[in-house]
Amino acid sequence: MSLGPLMIDIDGIELSAEDREVLRHPLVGGVILFTRNFESIEQLAALVRDIHALRTPRLIVAVDHEGGRVQRFRQGFTVLPPAAAYGRLYDEDRQAGLAAAEQGGWLMAAECLALGIDISFAPILDLDHGVSSIIGDRAFHRSIDGVAQLAGAWMRGMKRAGMAATGKHFPGHGGIAADSHLELPVDERDYVTLRQRDMVPFERLIRNRLAAIMMAHVVYPAVDSLPASFSPRWIRSELRQSLDFQGAVFCDDLTMEGAVVIGDYTARARQALEAGCDMLPVCNRREGVIEILDRLVEHDDPASQLRLVRLHGRADYTLEALQARPEWREAHDVVARLDNAPGLDLG
């Protein structure tokens, strides 16, 4: 069975009978985990094993585990600072900031991989324009070079651990105040401005073989009337052709308010696939998942399959074994000092 285009969530700390049935559907290809799915390290490892055992090739298990405000699991894991903390260190000492970012990316990825989690949706490639509440300190820096270099270091750390990186949110979510979870943001800037600023970090990481990108539920009316997540102009023309991106493209969550303008859940799924997305998260709305499974025609895209299978993580150690390694202690200490560094307001 191939991997389908839907990435869905589950309610509890173990799989229900309904979960198992839905996860075996050929249109499903992944699971995204949340804090509600975590009780203990042992429970989480068992849950991920159960998910992986359901299918061949195994379902992709994902999580949002950037650090700061967006870290789903904490007890037993290293508590990571927000990306902006690396940026502040970078401003004080460029090499130290880059080294810390690489250590942070390795640490995050290694701890997730130790539990069997394939990918964390990171790093953030949005610029901090000082206006977006949903981005804010999730961005590494305000400058193009700062974001590109710090996110590149973070990606190197992830890759060294064995995890594929996912840059988000293309072509850039940092230039508007609105939160796409709650409304449809509109960014009035023209294409040239976006191309010469917000898109540059994506372009640079693509050149270094970025494995995946998540789109933004943002409309850029000077370029296209559709939100970028649903836009062939942004995905097929800009990402695939202009930037020659060969990795996997994730839509942002189809249940967010920024997606409502497209129509019902099935209409959103169809439009995202037609636009060129490979995988579509559908979170916290099981009724939406069921609607799509009942109404979406069979989807078969061999190229998309190859892009998705490459996202499987690779680790052969437990979290306990990882934390016994000197390199874990070194990375943990670097991140801990950064988090508690005097004068760093981490929010």
CB-count burial class (<10 Å; 0-12, 13-18, 19+) for 244: exposed
Mean pLDDT of 287-304: 90
**Residues 149-160, mean pLDDT to the nearest whole number:** 98
The answer to whether residue 114 sits within a structural domain is yes
CA distance 22 to 184: 29
Q: So what's the pLDDT on residue 79?
A: 93
Check residues 158 and 136 and name the one with the higher pLDDT.
158
> Can you tell me the distance from the alpha carbon of 327 to that of 325, in angstroms, rounded to the nearest whole number?
5
Of 91, 93, 145, 181, catalytic:
181
The pLDDT score that the predictor gives to residue 344 is: 38
Is 21 within a domain?
no
**Residue 238 above 90 pLDDT?**
yes
Q: Is the pLDDT assigned to residue 4 strictly greater than 60?
A: yes
> Do 23 and 8 touch, CB atoms closer than 8 A?
yes
- The answer on pLDDT for 347 being more than 80 is no
Please tell me the predicted confidence (pLDDT) of residue 172.
95
Q: For residue 253, what are the domain limits?
A: 76-278+318-339
Query: Which pLDDT does position 297 carry in this prediction?
Result: 78
Helical residues (DSSP H) of 176-300, grouped into ranges: 191-196, 200-207, 232, 265-275, 286-295
- Identified catalytic residue from 252, 253, 278, 339: 252
pLDDT exceeds cutoff 90 at 253: yes
Helix (H, G, I), strand (E, B) or coil at 222: coil
14: which 2 tokens?
A: 């173990």
How confident is the model at residue 339, as a pLDDT?
63
pLDDT at 227: 96
Burial 64-88 (b: 16+ CB within 10 A, else e): bbbbbebbbbeeebbebbbbbbbbb
Of the pLDDT bands very low, low, confident and very high (cuts 50, 70, 90), residue 340 is low
Q: 252 catalytic, yes or no?
A: yes
Residue 217 falls within a domain, yes or no? yes
Task: Supply angle C-alpha 125, 129, 223, rounded to 5.
Answer: 70
- Scanning the structure block, which residue is given the tokens 């290694």? 110
CB 88 within 8 A of CB 35: no
Q: CATH no. for residue 210?
A: 3.20.20.300
User: Does the residue 301 lie in any domain?
Assistant: no
- In terms of DSSP H, where are the helices of the chain? 17-23, 41-53, 83-92, 94-114, 144-161, 191-196, 200-207, 232, 265-275, 286-295, 302-309, 319-323, 326-339
Q: What is the mean pLDDT of the chain?
A: 93
Q: Crossing angle of helices 200-207/144-161, nearest 10°?
A: 30
Residue 247 within a domain: yes
**11 part of a folded domain:** no
Is residue 229 scored above 70 in pLDDT? yes
pTM comes to 0.94
Which amino acid is located at 320 in the chain? Answer: E
Asked if the structure places residue 12 within a domain, the reply is no
Residues 29-55: tens digit of each pLDDT = 999 999 999 999 999 999 999 999 999
Residue 270 pLDDT > 70: yes
Mapping DSSP to helix (H, G, I), strand (E, B) and coil, where does residue 346 land? coil
Q: How many residues does the chain have?
A: 347
Beta-bridge partners for 32 = 62
Number of domains in the chain: 1
Question: Residues 288-293: contacts with CB within 8 Å, 24+ apart?
Answer: 288/254, 288/255, 289/6, 289/8, 289/22, 289/265, 290/22, 291/264, 291/265, 291/266, 292/6, 292/27, 292/265, 292/266, 293/6, 293/22, 293/25, 293/27, 293/28
Residue 345 located in a structural domain: no
Whether 169 sits among the annotated catalytic residues: the reply is no
Pairing of strands 28-33, 70-71: unpaired
Q: Residue 112 above 80 pLDDT?
A: yes
Q: Is the pLDDT of residue 9 over 80?
A: yes
Residue 278 predicted with pLDDT over 60 = yes
Tens digits of residue pLDDT in 72-99 = 999 999 999 999 999 999 999 999 999 9
Whether 254 has a pLDDT exceeding 80, the answer reads: yes
As a whole number, mean pLDDT of residues 289-298 equals 91
Higher pLDDT, 185 or 158: 158
342 falls in which pLDDT band (50, 70, 90)? very low
Q: Calculate what percentage of the chain has a pLDDT beyond 70.
A: 96
DSSP type of residue 91: H
Over residues 239-251, mean pLDDT: 97
Residue 342 falls in which region: left (phi positive, over 0), alpha (psi -120 to 50) or beta: beta
pLDDT digits (tens, 9 = 90+) for 168-222: 999 999 988 766 677 788 999 999 999 999 999 999 999 999 999 999 999 999 9
* Structural contact between residues 176 and 185, judged by C-beta atoms closer than 8 angstroms: yes
Q: What is the CA 131 to chain-centroid distance, rounded?
A: 21
**Distance (Å, rounded) from C-alpha 239 to C-alpha 229?**
12
From CA 340, how far away is CA 239, in angstroms rounded?
A: 38
User: What proportion of the chain, given as a percentage, has pLDDT over 90?
Assistant: 86
